[in-house]
Structure 1
Amino acid sequence: MTRAVLVVFVICQIAGEVATWLSSDHSSTAGPWLWVISVIFLLPGDIAATWLIEKFLWNSSWNLHQLQWFKAPCEIVINALVWALIAACFTRIGGRSKRKNA
């Protein structure tokens, strides 16, 4: 990943995580909107981490707060892998077009 892609990745992940934690405040009317923003910024890691936790840890002795703390690094790692794969594909495609023009 280039530095620019890495900066965008970090900003998206921080904004998504902050929106996730702020959306759990039930006294706020912005809660549903923050939840939607967090899901969008944290795709596909949010869905994959939720599935993994539901599949393997839902019946464990962990409470919901502990599962949420476990979910955050899982979704960031999954998103990092997906972003790196996409960045590698774009780099490879860009390299091919430069070779054809040369």
Structure 2
Amino acid sequence: MAKRLTEEMVIARTKISDLSKIKRLNCWGSELVDVSLLMKMPSVEVLSLSINKINSLADFQFCKRLEELYIRQNDIRDLNEIMYLQGLTNLKNLWLGENPCASIEGHSGNQEL
């Protein structure tokens, strides 16, 4: 069964029970596949989700205040997944290195936006 990001996991790491008030979340190395809980975190500005098993960027489109997204060493295979991030006007740092999509010739995984 795919491991998903849960409210309990977020509260344990942030010590904040109201998900809508969370600004930063670090869940690297948690073997996460499902991060759909991000829909309840519109105020998050920094997400560290490296070394997981995430295969889509779709759930990040709801994080309208996101400034930094660290998602290296996941399972993002299609570079077109970046289209889900196009509405995130505050996004300045995106680290996609060491994902299957980052090995495409001519593209590096660490992009300044």
TM-score, normalising length from structure 2? 0.23
Structure that is richer in strand per residue = 2
RCO higher in structure (CA 8 A, sep ≥6): 1
More helix by share: 1
Structure whose alpha-carbon radius of gyration is higher: 1
